[in-house]
A and B are shown apart, each in its own frame.
Chain A
Amino acid sequence: MVQRLRVRYAKRGRLRFTSHRDISRAIERAVRRAGIPVGFSAGFTPHPKISYAGAAPTGVASEAEYLEIGVVTACEPDRLRAELDSSLPTGLDVLDVVEASGGSLADRLQGSVWDVRLPGADPAEARDAAERFMAAERVEVERLTKKGPRRFDAREAVIMLTAEDPDGTAARTAREGTEETADRDPGPPCAILRMVVRHVTPAVRPDDVLTGLRLVAAFAPPSPPTVTRLAQGPLDARTGATADPLDLDRDTRGGEPGPAVRHVGDHK
């Protein structure tokens, strides 16, 4: 292995319904089609040297998924980004590739920023529920895992939780902001939750937080949520923000600026 490359990719639109296994198969095939000189493990059934860090669950879209590829001949990161991207189906989009400087990528992924859209839910009710959730000390939720139902606290890992209107303003009342959107079709109401969650074990997922909202405030959205991970990376526990986990790799190569990334809100 002469080089390790760290890749940030998005799963968007209807491809959010891919499972982690679906994605790893798609990536392995794209690597073959693109002719990327990936390394293989030794042994009876050689596996390509591709490792994944913290995959988003099936049904959840993401603007910030990460993997690492080991190659046997050195690759130029930007070219690999373009080739891998064009070999993947639309909706699995490669956003950023850097050469790994060392350290563990997984260790840098300390928390995630989530965007949870709740069509049909009242933004004011959502805000009220979010406030009650954040005011609680503990919110015990139960999730069905492969090993059966499991109870855990969903509150402590949540560093930040706010509710917004679709136009981006923090919700005050259900009808506030209608003037600004008067020339657009207001459509049915929609609440948007924005949360920063620390990666803990067992993982606290956005749906666990939604379960929590139901428990503390009887807040029950009428239709399934659309969830997107906007970012993941090192956590600034004080501000509740995440940093770009690939910056550390870039810094050692001379502090190149990070690439322009599509605005997190405008996924298809």
Chain B
Amino acid sequence: MLEIRDIHTSYGKIAALKGVSLDIADGGLTCLLGPNGAGKTTLIWTIAGILKARAGSMKLDGEEIAGLRAPQIVGKGIVTVPENRLVFPEMTVRDNLIAGSFSRRKDKGGVARDLEEVLERFPRLRERANQDAGTLSGGEQQMLAVGRALMARPKILLMDEPSTGLAPIIVEEIFQIIGQLRDEGKTIFLVEQNAHMALDYADHFYLLEQGHVTFGGVPGEVDHDELIQRAYLGARKAS
């Protein structure tokens, strides 16, 4: 369980997160919706330790992790699948995956097993294991980014817009992967533009607007269309 309380993050003088509080529950898919510029990616990068929160607290199973730096956060098992995938284009698929296991210095046997497991999970990555990641299609790169994150044995996966720039049929495939990971009991925090799809898979959702969490709930209990209209079309109070 990751409890985020009153997190503030700024770029210079511009405040991007103005006191965000939310919970990421174990073994479920928590989804964060919101329009562009609401601060969704900023929140991911703050949790990941790449941006530093100005104030606030983040507790992983009761332990304070705000202020830790990125390698330590990965070491705690919070691993990011970044927006635009950000694979290493000039490295082979296999090396990309091994790069995901950096936090597990002393676990050579485990890394080898996990590499095999990831290649098992994504047969297309196995086919292209010795190809440079830059030659992969967008969907394959997304699988690689997920695979790289899995190589760190994550407790919590932070996924930032995994469907961006992908064809609908590929988006479907990516969401099947996400659903499968959730069914295996992995904890997932998903930021997604594709709200319909995300709400279909989410156990819980939050709405982020202008650096504040303005709404949260369980997808089954709200009207999706109404929520999406509010999230993306900026209707402040739909009906």
User: Do A and B truly interact?
Assistant: no
